[in-house]
Amino acid sequence: MGRVNDRNDRNDTVSRRAVFGVGLGAAAAVAASGGMAAATRLPDVPETGRARQARRATPGLWLRWWGNNSWEIKTRAADGTVKTVLIDPWLTRFHTGTYSKQGADPKTRVTVDTALLDRMIDSGELRADHILVTHGHYDHLPDVPYLAERTGATVVGTETHVNLMLAMGAPKDQLSIAVGGEYLSFDGYAIRVLRSLHSASAPRGKVAFAGTRPAVPPSPPEYIRDLVEGGTLAYEVITESGASVLNFGGSNYIEAELAGLRPDVVLLPAGGGMVPDYVGRLLRALGHPPYVVPTHWDDFDEPLFEPAKDWGGLQPLRDAVTSASPDSRFQVIDHLETLRT
């Protein structure tokens, strides 16, 4: 896989949402100061309604959106240290044409903007204790091997995801294979791994770039068609205070896997048009969560350091949530913004 440093000019135009000032700010500075930087607070759920009667979100989660399904989740351990979990961190955002009329070219080359990632890591703005991979597609996986190498984070994914990352140079001893069903405890947080499904598209309802890479690592992925889905996982991250966030990397799910889960925040992808009652079944299964935050709704051919541009799925998702779970708050955040519960 080639790595290119072709975005040096991007950081010259980040005045609106400067990387080193948005959200939590540099993790190193946060840890040193012993306090969390200011962030937008999720508003209270109304006093009446099913979601409010069931529970309210408890303090302890800071969520920052890096576009697409890239999320940074921060919490504080009992000793005061800040812990960071990343989900599908893909900041390179090389051009693919995915949301254009023509769609993505399968022979688009896979690249990693190491200069951008280095600047963010070296500044302390980007760090990770865990990186969670929902599936192996080109808009989720490419930056993970390099981020793992630079941050020392433990990476969780399926056997296919792990083999793809090994082929891309990820440190072998940092990769952890999951199949769904794992419930793992760490210092300051726990991670629940759920079996899930990728969204389907086209007239026959197929998964784009389907397939697996079991047994041994493949050749290094050269084109986006080489980064196959490889099984899809969902993740719930739970803090010591009991606050939790549930993320889906594709607009589909296994309803039975959700039984008994009551997350405070659901990161819900736009789309799901081929899934019957996509939003309603999900929110009912989760007991009408207090907060629904949309994810995977921006056109990722557009710059990360500018306001997100909707590919067309945001309003239909909002309407579906309002109809299916009116007491849940639909909370939209923009690129690099941070919310806390």
Residues 182-196 pLDDT 10s? 999 999 999 999 999
Rounded Cα distance between 326 and 306, Å, is: 31
* Residue 52 domain flag: yes
Q: Give the pLDDT score at 341.
A: 74
Rounded Cα distance between 231 and 70, Å, is: 18
Q: Give the pLDDT score at 41.
A: 59
Rounded Cα distance between 9 and 313, Å, is: 30
* Residue 240 domain flag: yes
Task: Check: CB of residue 126 under 8 Å from CB of residue 119.
Answer: no
pTM over 0.85: yes
* Residue 259 domain flag: yes
Helix 159-167 vs helix 144-151: crossing angle, to nearest 10 = 80
Q: Give the pLDDT score at 202.
A: 84
Which candidate, 70, 47, 42, 69, places its Cα nearest to that of 57? 42
* Residue 11 domain flag: no
* 3-state class (DSSP) for residue 310: strand
* Residue 121 domain flag: yes
CA 177 distance to own-chain centroid: 18
* Residue 4 domain flag: no
CATH number at residue 82: 3.60.15.10
Bridge partners (DSSP) listed for residue 338: 64
Residue count of the chain, please give it: 341
* 3-state class (DSSP) for residue 72: strand
Task: Check: CB of residue 229 under 8 Å from CB of residue 211.
Answer: yes
18 CB-near residues (< 8 Å, 6+ apart): none
* 3-state class (DSSP) for residue 332: coil
Rounded to the nearest integer, the mean pLDDT of the chain is 87
Strand segments, DSSP code E, in 153-309 are 154-157, 175-177, 183-186, 189-196, 232-239, 244-248, 265-269, 291-295
Per-residue pLDDT of the chain (341 residues; tens, 9 = 90+): 444 343 333 333 222 232 222 333 333 333 333 333 446 655 554 433 443 333 444 457 899 999 999 999 999 999 999 999 999 999 999 999 999 999 999 999 999 999 999 999 999 999 999 999 999 999 999 999 999 999 999 999 999 999 999 999 999 999 999 999 999 999 999 999 999 999 998 889 999 999 999 999 999 999 999 999 999 999 999 999 899 999 999 999 999 999 999 999 999 999 999 999 999 999 999 999 999 999 999 999 999 999 999 999 999 999 999 999 999 999 999 999 999 87
DSSP state of 306: S
Q: Give the pLDDT score at 40.
A: 62
Burial letters for 47-64: b for 16+ Cβ neighbours within 10 Å, e otherwise? eebebbeeeebeebbbbb
Residue at token pair 């990360």: 304
Q: Is 122 exposed, middle or buried (0-12, 13-18, 19+ CB in 10 A)?
A: exposed
Task: Name the amino acid, one letter, at 254.
Answer: I
* Residue 2 domain flag: no
SS3 content of the chain, % helix, strand, coil (to 5): 20, 20, 55
DSSP state of 275: S
* Residue 7 domain flag: no
Please tell me the total count of domains within the chain.
1
Q: Give the pLDDT score at 28.
A: 35
Q: Give the pLDDT score at 33.
A: 34
Bridge partners (DSSP) listed for residue 40: 339
Q: Which domain holds residue 115?
A: 16-340
